[in-house]
Structure 1
């Protein structure tokens, strides 16, 4: 099984979040999945979106990776809409094809946010922490990033490196 995947969830495939993802991936060498290049419909109780990209993508992720890192820009003080829809659709696998939903148990989740502010507001990580708890996943933490003059500042660079080291150390001790 492959070590991990970075799920990039920005409305711009080549924006600031992508730059951060590329930098993080230089340290990790994980696969990258760009949700902006997928067609994923909203969750609905009739499961009318079964023929979009979500089902095969979710099955691929849970069958092949131990660590899932969600990388999202901050839009309106929270995760991107693309990522929210992705997380909502996990409900499909809690209702139908539950064997795939159960594969999340014991996997590890991390979050990278990218914003225009140096600060992150209280509560940003709550949906990730609580979702990980509910799904039986190990939440490994969050790092907040930003760019200055289209470059990653030294402070962010150091925080990313600490974050990566912490995540890999925790995950290798538990696998």
Structure 2
């Protein structure tokens, strides 16, 4: 299975990077640092078509298995990774882009989280699970790495 790790963190080379790197080595997967891309918030007028989101999304669609990696920020993923998910709506709203969106139905996804706790909170995983399943993706695995403060 051709895997990519899409990771986000305010600390580019912090705990999430360390955990994602370890998994990337095991899965022979490239890593993409979402925060280095310009991804604007979703806009009903779709006025952000010129940012990096569409190209990044199309790149991610080239893989069979997508690992979404984020530290736990107040029971949630990072704002940049959330913006990535919100912008998928661009492909829902535009009939010309919908065929590309449907490719997600052929994809698997996993979740990688990092925090000071033994496991990710249910609110964190629920958002990712429900969103990806709504998009037709099949859940593969959850990884959680605990770090001391």
The question of a shared fold, defined as TM-score above 0.5 by the shorter chain, is answered with: yes
Contact 1:71 1:112 in 2 (8 A): yes
Size of the alignment, in residue pairs? 147
Which deviates more from structure 2 when the two are superposed, residues 122-131 or residues 12-21? Answer: 122-131
Counterpart of 1:168 in structure 2 is none
Counterpart of 1:146 in structure 2 is 146
Give the unaligned 5+ runs of structure 1: 150-175
Q: Over alpha carbons, which structure has the higher Rg?
A: 1
Q: How does 1:18-97 map to 2 (within 5 A)?
A: 18-62=17-61, 64-96=62-94, 97=97
Higher helix share: 1
Counterpart of 2:121 in structure 1 is 121
Q: How does 1:3-14 map to 2 (within 5 A)?
A: 3-14=2-13
Counterpart of 2:98 in structure 1 is 98
CA distance, structure 2, for counterparts of residue 33 and residue 110 of structure 1: 15
Post-superposition CA distance 1:70-121 (Å, at most 9, x none)? 0001111211111111100111111121111111112001100011222432
Q: Secondary structure at the match of 2:64?
A: strand
CA RMSD of aligned residues (A): 1.5
Matched, 1:130 2:130: yes
Q: Which runs of 4+ in 1 moved over 6 A?
A: none
Note the C-alpha offset of 1:148: 4.1
Contact 2:72 2:124 in 1 (8 A): no
Counterpart of 1:161 in structure 2 is none
Contact 1:11 1:82 in 2 (8 A): no
Post-superposition CA distance 1:26-50 (Å, at most 9, x none)? 1011111101111100001111111
CA distance, structure 1, for counterparts of residue 148 and residue 134 of structure 2: 36
Structure-1-length-normalised TM-score: 0.79
CA distance, structure 2, for counterparts of residue 99 and residue 82 of structure 1: 25
Which deviates more from structure 2 when the two are superposed, residues 2-11 or residues 116-125? Answer: 116-125
Give the unaligned 5+ runs of structure 2: none
CA distance, structure 2, for counterparts of residue 125 and residue 148 of structure 1: 21
CA distance, structure 2, for counterparts of residue 40 and residue 32 of structure 1: 17
